[in-house]
A and B are shown apart, each in its own frame.
Chain A
Amino acid sequence: MSDKKMISLTIDGKPVSVPEGTLVIEAARQLGIKIPHYCYHRGLGNPGNCRICACEVEGAPKPIQMSCRTIAAEGMKIHTSSPNARRFQSSSLEFHLDNHPLDCPVCDQSGECKLQDYYMQYGLYESAVREDKLHKGKRIPIGPHVMLDQERCILCTRCTRFTAEVTKTHELGVFGRGHREVVDLAPGRALDNAYSGNVVDICPVGALTDRDFRFKVRVWYLDETESICPGCSRGCSIYVHTNTKRPWHNEGRRVARLKPRENPEVNGFWICDEGRYGHKNLDEHRLGRVMRLKPRPEDLSWSAVLDEVAREIKEGSAAKGAEGLAVVASGMLSNEDWASFNELFVRTLKIKRFLFGPEPDQIGAEDDFLRRKEKAPNLRGGLELGFGREIKSLSWDELAKSIESGQTWGLYVVERDPARAWGTARAKALLERLDFLSFQSPFKGEAGDWAHYRLPATAYVEEEGHFTNFEGKAQKYSKALEPLGLARPDWQIFDDLRSRFMEGEGSSGRREKAGALA
């Protein structure tokens, strides 16, 4: 980058210098000038077929040039909104709208549709077309996640290029010719690759819409928060789109959809379908009450339950030995959670036996693009504190054996469901042998019913924190929603619990902090 020659040019009277080989449209973006475009996408190249990114190059023999096909040259003078450029842009848009059905009121894309946006800016408003609009296929389900509407399509070929260049699966193609050209599936194929949802994001119009999101909520009701996908250890940057203002939409769920957020260092422009639709459970089987479940279910306050948990750990350790207490955790913890986890269980309680490895319940599909097999976002954050290095993870079988032999009398489970690793019947039998089981999680799971104490934690959309991905990049995720019920972030629960073990050790500052947060 730095050894490249810099080129100086003027766009709309503003000087800018860019590295050699930069496209005019990118140089304009650097200046904050937005040139309309459909086919050009930074992740997909520049075929130059939509003809709307026209700009005027002063002094060129043919002054109207496509800014996505023109490479910046020294001394170039570009006008992006001169009368000539504007006229070209308007005429291109007129062609795009020629057979467009204009069903914006029922189109899911409306509100984030480039055709709508540019029509408001460059539209000619009066239709010059006297003929009937050409009818093509509508609402064709082309895959498990994507719905195709050929009438709305403007043939920018972003989707076909995505399947050809990014996933290399070639499901989509352009068929027919002239005004009868359509985007369609290759014969006998379905758009069912692991990244199919991305074609919905890159489609600048409503031709490809999300079947999952279809009619759920209008996009202008949504709020957007920057976050990190918790689906695997890749840690793709995402936007969380939440619907809280109109709770009767989206089937009452607060998270409406996840969208990829551009991050050239991790995920580029894309996310996988697994991560994209991984938000469904965020409002289901959630914990919101602080409870002691045995001998009979009873609601407690946070301070009461933490006092009791601390007392059980102290008494149990004194009577049966501290080595009989094991902790189950996972890479679902944020860096902040891991730090407090480490303080509590390693530094303060001196516990030796931890289970945090992803096998087998947090292992899934993997490929050489984005998906990683560890389906937990932050194993690396634990690794950096020694979990997996100095402290080895038990396997579920080892833990089961130690419970069966009576060696383990107590278990503290954090954001994980033993029933998924052991199976329901075995997990129930094993967990009921324990004298102490504390279950701290956003989700009830199956094991939530067999615990002695059940502590509600926040899900990643309800807290702020950092995940460190497998490459060691710590990335921040922001709070998109309010916690449900009494749920608290894991780190706060660990800190408050730790303050119960700090009696008379000059820990007042720590306790005050915990108290202020309580």
Chain B
Amino acid sequence: MAMTVRPVERPARTLKEQIFLWEVWIGLVVTFRHLFVNLARHVLRALGLNVEPGAVTIQYPEDPAVLGKRARTRHRLLKREDGSPRCTSCLLCETICPAKCIHITPEESPDPRIEKRAKTFDIDIGLCIFCGDCVEACPVDAIHMDANNVELSSYTREDMIWTMPELLGDVPKLPRALRATRPASGVS
């Protein structure tokens, strides 16, 4: 891959910046402005005045994270009414995925009304960029990014891969050794 290099010139520091004291003072002004503005807002609201609410510090991770309603979090696969996965294995999410983090293998469905279904459906959360294109691409509304789970770290790269039962919520995500995603192309 060709790499583009763009030289960026470093701005020279002025004397005022060089001695830092002025910049430290500006920082303190910002900090104390927040302190007094928020203090005033909390006090005024406590007195029953309708002013803007003051900022609240959440003690994450002791307190749960507050996520916006439209936040894109970990993927979730949805089920049909009969409990089978909605996914028809059309591979549109896999195709649109810019990070190529979705790996699906299709198979024939035993249900005569269903043509195709997913045999495996893996998402490598470690590669996912949370763009939400897979949700947009899905023609059968089988994938959502609303599991409200953002604590996705693990000790190994392999454990960043979520398989279909885990994405469906059928089994809890536990650390485990990874299956091979590709049969070894044995040369002898």
Interface string of B155-188 (1 = CB under 8 A from A): 0000000000000000000000000011101111
What distance in Å separates the Cβ of A337 from its nearest Cβ neighbour in chain B?
A: 21
Whether a CB of chain B sits under 8 angstroms from the CB of A72 is: no
The listed residue (B100, B105, B107) touching A249 by CB distance below 8 A is B105
Cα A252 to Cα B187 in complex, Å, equals 13
Cα A485 to Cα B188 in complex, Å, equals 9
Cα A138 to Cα B111 in complex, Å, equals 12
Cα A304 to Cα B115 in complex, Å, equals 55
Whether a CB of chain A sits under 8 angstroms from the CB of B88 is: yes
Within 8 A of B (CB), among A447-472: 448, 456
Interface string of B50-67 (1 = CB under 8 A from A): 000000000000000000
The listed residue (A105, A248, A456, A485) touching B90 by CB distance below 8 A is A105
What distance in Å separates the Cβ of A376 from its nearest Cβ neighbour in chain B?
A: 24
Q: Are B139 and A105 in contact (CB under 8 A)?
A: yes
> A249: nearest residue on chain B (CB-CB)?
B105
What distance in Å separates the Cβ of B88 from its nearest Cβ neighbour in chain A?
A: 5
7 residue pairs bridging A and B, Cβ less than 8 Å apart: A105-B92, A218-B91, A221-B95, A249-B105, A287-B188, A288-B187, A444-B188
Interface string of B84-126 (1 = CB under 8 A from A): 0000111110110000100101111000000110000000000
Cα A288 to Cα B106 in complex, Å, equals 30
Whether a CB of chain B sits under 8 angstroms from the CB of A289 is: yes
Given A103-B115, A106-B90: A248 and B187 interface contact (C-beta under 8 Å): no
Whether a CB of chain A sits under 8 angstroms from the CB of B37 is: no
Given A218-B95, A248-B105: A485 and B187 interface contact (C-beta under 8 Å): yes
What distance in Å separates the Cβ of B101 from its nearest Cβ neighbour in chain A?
A: 12
Cα A252 to Cα B184 in complex, Å, equals 8
Interface string of A251-266 (1 = CB under 8 A from B): 1100000000000000
The listed residue (A215, A251, A285, A289) touching B116 by CB distance below 8 A is A215
Cα A249 to Cα B118 in complex, Å, equals 12
Chain B residues with CB below 8 A from A138, complex form: 115
Given A248-B105, A288-B188, A485-B187: A105 and B182 interface contact (C-beta under 8 Å): no
Known: A215-B89, A248-B103. 9 other contacts (CB 8 A): A106-B90, A106-B116, A107-B115, A220-B95, A249-B105, A251-B183, A287-B188, A289-B187, A444-B188
Chain A residues with CB below 8 A from B106, complex form: 215
The listed residue (A215, A248, A283) touching B181 by CB distance below 8 A is A248
Whether a CB of chain B sits under 8 angstroms from the CB of A286 is: yes
Q: Are A289 and B188 in contact (CB under 8 A)?
A: yes
Chain B residues with CB below 8 A from A252, complex form: 182-183, 185
Within 8 A of B (CB), among A283-325: 283, 285-289
Given A248-B182, A252-B183, A286-B187: A106 and B105 interface contact (C-beta under 8 Å): no
Chain B residues with CB below 8 A from A107, complex form: 115
7 A-B pairs with least C-beta separation: A288-B187, A105-B90, A252-B183, A215-B106, A106-B116, A106-B115, A485-B187
The listed residue (A105, A214, A484) touching B140 by CB distance below 8 A is A105
Which of B91, B95, B182, B188 counts the most A-chain CB atoms under 10 A from its CB? B188
Chain A residues with CB below 8 A from B105, complex form: 248-249
Within 8 A of B (CB), among A196-226: 214-215, 218, 220-221
Given A215-B106, A218-B95, A287-B187: A247 and B88 interface contact (C-beta under 8 Å): no
Q: Are B182 and A139 in contact (CB under 8 A)?
A: no
Given A106-B115, A106-B116, A220-B95: A247 and B108 interface contact (C-beta under 8 Å): no
Given A218-B95, A288-B188: A247 and B182 interface contact (C-beta under 8 Å): yes
Which residues of A pack against B, CB within 8 Å? 103, 105-107, 138-139, 214-215, 218, 220-221, 246-249, 251-252, 283, 285-289, 444, 448, 456, 484-485
- State the total of A-B contacts with C-beta under 8 angstroms: 54
Chain B residues with CB below 8 A from A289, complex form: 187-188
Per DSSP, are chain A's interface residues mostly helix, strand or loop, or mixed?
Answer: loop
Cα A289 to Cα B116 in complex, Å, equals 39
The listed residue (B115, B139, B183, B188) touching A139 by CB distance below 8 A is B115
> B184: nearest residue on chain A (CB-CB)?
A252
Which of A218, A221, A285, A289 counts the most B-chain CB atoms under 10 A from its CB? A218
Chain A residues with CB below 8 A from B103, complex form: 248
Chain B residues with CB below 8 A from A139, complex form: 115
> A444: nearest residue on chain B (CB-CB)?
B188
Chain A residues with CB below 8 A from B116, complex form: 106, 215
Chain A residues with CB below 8 A from B182, complex form: 247-248, 252
Cα A46 to Cα B115 in complex, Å, equals 33
Chain A residues with CB below 8 A from B188, complex form: 285-289, 444, 448
What distance in Å separates the Cβ of B11 from its nearest Cβ neighbour in chain A?
A: 43
Chain B residues with CB below 8 A from A456, complex form: 187
Given A105-B139, A215-B116, A248-B105: A283 and B88 interface contact (C-beta under 8 Å): no
What distance in Å separates the Cβ of B179 from its nearest Cβ neighbour in chain A?
A: 11
Cα A31 to Cα B185 in complex, Å, equals 46
Chain B residues with CB below 8 A from A287, complex form: 187-188
Q: Are A484 and B95 in contact (CB under 8 A)?
A: no
What distance in Å separates the Cβ of B150 from its nearest Cβ neighbour in chain A?
A: 27
Cα A252 to Cα B94 in complex, Å, equals 17
Chain A residues with CB below 8 A from B185, complex form: 252, 283, 286, 484
What distance in Å separates the Cβ of A377 from its nearest Cβ neighbour in chain B?
A: 24
Chain A residues with CB below 8 A from B100, complex form: 246
Chain A residues with CB below 8 A from B115, complex form: 103, 106-107, 138-139
> B94: nearest residue on chain A (CB-CB)?
A246
Chain B residues with CB below 8 A from A285, complex form: 188
Cα A485 to Cα B186 in complex, Å, equals 10
Which of B92, B103, B116, B139 counts the most A-chain CB atoms under 10 A from its CB? B116
Chain A residues with CB below 8 A from B90, complex form: 105-106
Chain A residues with CB below 8 A from B95, complex form: 218, 220-221
Cα A285 to Cα B183 in complex, Å, equals 13
Cα A256 to Cα B163 in complex, Å, equals 25
